[in-house]
Structures are given as C-alpha cells and as structure tokens.
Amino acid sequence: MKNGNLSHLIPDLVVQYLSQITSLPLTFVERVSGGDINQAAILSLQDKTKIFVKWSEHALPDFYECERDGLERLRGVSKYFSVPVVLGCFDSVSLSALFLEYLGEPAAPQERELALGLADLHRVTAPQFGLERDNYIGLSPQLNGWSSAWSDFFVEKRLFPQLRQGRNLGWISNSDCAAFERAFEVIHGELCEYEETPSLLHGDLWNGNVFWGARTPVLIDPASYFGNREADIAMTELFGGFGTHFYSTYAEAHPLQDGYERRKISLNLYHFMNHANLFGGSYTGEVFRLIRRFS
C-alpha cells in the first residue's frame, strides 16, 4: 500500500507530521485501537521500521505535550522498566498527534521487574508535592502546583476539582456537597498522620498502562507528579490489578508504612470520582458508597 493510497486510513496531517520526523516513504498503515481517547495506527516505513502514532481532532490543549513530558520524566529512572521513545509531538487547531517508538507484540508479564522498577521510580524525590505544570488524567485536567503537605495537596488539587466537576455535570447535587466536604475533612486528617518525602509517580498506574515488552515492562500514558508513593500502589489494585508477586516484591524493595490498607481507600476515591465524571454509570454509585464510609 503506497503513500498515495493511505488517505482513507489516516488523516493527511498525520502524514505531513510524519514527514517532519523521517524522510523514508510510508508503505503500510495498520489501524489499531486507540482506547477511549485517541485514534491510532502502526505506520510501516520503507526500511521496515514501524512507528506508533495516536491522534485526535479534538485534543485538549497541550494534551499530547503533557504525555510527552510525563514519559520524559520517567525515562532512564530504572533498568527494570522502560518508556517508549517520543519521536514527535504536534499540535494544531485541526489535529494533534503523538508519534512513539513501536513496542512490538506483548510478551509474558514481568511483575518482579515492574515492582523493582516502580520502587526505583519512587526513590526519585522532590522538596514538595505537585509539579510545575498542570497535566491530565485521562481526559480530565489534573491540577498541580506545589504544596509542602501531602494532605493539603491531595484534598485541594485532587478531590475538590473532581467534586466541582461532578457538580457541573449534575451527578453531585448541592445537598450532596456537605457529605463530600465532611469526607474530605476525614481524609485530610487521615493523610496528615502519615507524611512521606514526595516521590515521582506514574500517576495513572493501572494494568492497562503497563505494556509487557520483550525485555522489560514498558510504562505508558503517565499522569506524573510528585506525590505520596502510596497513591501509585493503591491505583494498581483497581481495575484488575497485578499478581501477588508484584506486591510482595515491591514490599521487600520499598516497604509501605502501617496504615496503607486504610489510606488506599481515600487515595482511590480520586480515581473513582474521575471515572464517574468521565463515564458515569456504576462509578457514581461507587463514589457515594465510599463517601458514606467516611461519614
């Protein structure tokens, strides 16, 4: 399939962007799933090199640039995991695109390496919690800035923005807000009891954002910031999670403090609220169930 016959498979702008990355002719396009957010394809070049590209005609401002930034923050942190090389990031009024190293076919899970790599990631620290720029978690804006206290940062920058969005969407009523605010006070007090040095986080670490590469696990789609490392571990337990070997290896490499099993409920409220705002459905009921636990 030659370059001139590809317009029905990928937008012309994607082809134009590709020409800024390589002079090699495009010879084949395989459309693949881009998940809930993107359209995607594997591009084959004349020399048999393959490139993964994802694009959107309705991307949020700097959406792919934030992903590129997150990947670069994770790069080189550990020999136990890798991240895809960013080949190009383009943004225009009509279409935005991110070109990445093609990772090949998935291999067998390497949960020990993932755990050791995550422990290495969490040893990268900062003086404060947050990040110098805002980014995204899924399609939701993720506010950052800096804070000296994890409890303040988590409640103000993670929970309250989701509450405001839930009110805007209508699934949280004005009368519900008092219960949410009481729950947030309880969570704030709970997190005050345990402060830890801010660690670099993946930020959106469920099993769908780990690709099992031929040599190492590959972390994709980060929503990175400096936070309490328990937030990453807590999220791994959602949406299928990982095997017991992952958790036992991490616990040996970088033990969690007492009380994690209680705190993870508070930490995962953020992700349930985000999913309720993005997808609705059963996630809204799960959010209210969690809020009642704090009343």
CA distance readout (Å), 69 to 63, 66, 199: 10, 5, 17
Domain range for 58 is: 3-101
Q: Is residue 106 part of a domain?
A: no
Task: List the CATH number of the domain containing 226.
Answer: 3.90.1200.10
Q: Exactly one of 204, 221, 232, 258 is catalytic; name it.
A: 204
Task: Indicate the residue among 80, 101, 122 that finishes a domain.
Answer: 101
Of 50, 79, 101, the last residue of a domain is: 101
Domain assignment present for 37: yes
| Domain identity same for 15 and 160 | no
Domain check: are 196 and 64 in the same one?
no
> Is 268 in the same domain as 229?
yes
Instruction: Report pLDDT digits (tens) over 124-177.
Output: 999 999 999 999 999 999 999 999 999 999 999 999 999 999 999 999 999 999
Residues 118 and 59 in one domain: no
Same domain, 88 and 123: no
pLDDT in tens, 6-26: 557 899 999 999 999 999 999
Alpha carbon of 168 to those of 161, 165, 173: distances in Å?
11, 5, 9
Q: What distances in angstroms separate CA 213 from CA 61, 107, 140, 205, 270, one per listed residue?
A: 30, 6, 28, 16, 29
Cα–Cα dist 205/20, whole Å: 32
Asked if residue 229 and residue 94 are part of one domain, the reply reads no
Residue 2, pLDDT score: 40
pTM comes to: 0.94
Task: Give the separation between CA 236 and CA 205, rounded to whole angstroms.
Answer: 6
The residue from 101, 131, 146 where one domain ends is: 101
- Residues 246 and 155 reside in one and the same domain: yes
pLDDT digits (tens, 9 = 90+) for 85-125: 999 999 888 899 999 999 999 999 999 999 999 999 999 99
Outline where 122-229 has alpha helix (H).
150-153, 160-169, 177-192
Give me the chain's average pLDDT, please.
Answer: 94
State the CATH number of the domain containing residue 97. 3.30.200.20
Q: Is residue 91 part of a domain?
A: yes
Residues 86 and 120 in one domain: no
139 within 8 A of 146, measured Cβ to Cβ: no
Does the active-site annotation cover 120? no
Check whether residue 79 and residue 115 sit in a common domain: no
pLDDT category, 233, cuts 50, 70, 90? Answer: very high
Judgement on whether residues 72 and 135 belong to the same structural domain of the protein = no
Residue 279 domain-assigned (yes or no) = yes
- Does a structural domain hold residue 168? yes
- Give the Cα separation of 261 and 20 in Å (integer): 49
Same domain, 20 and 128: no
Query: Considering its fold, how many domains does the chain have in total?
Result: 2
Provide the total of helices (H) and of strands (E) in the chain, helices listed first. 10, 13
163 vs 121: CA distance, rounded Å: 30
Is 3's pLDDT higher than 50? Answer: no
Pair (125, 77) in one structural domain: no
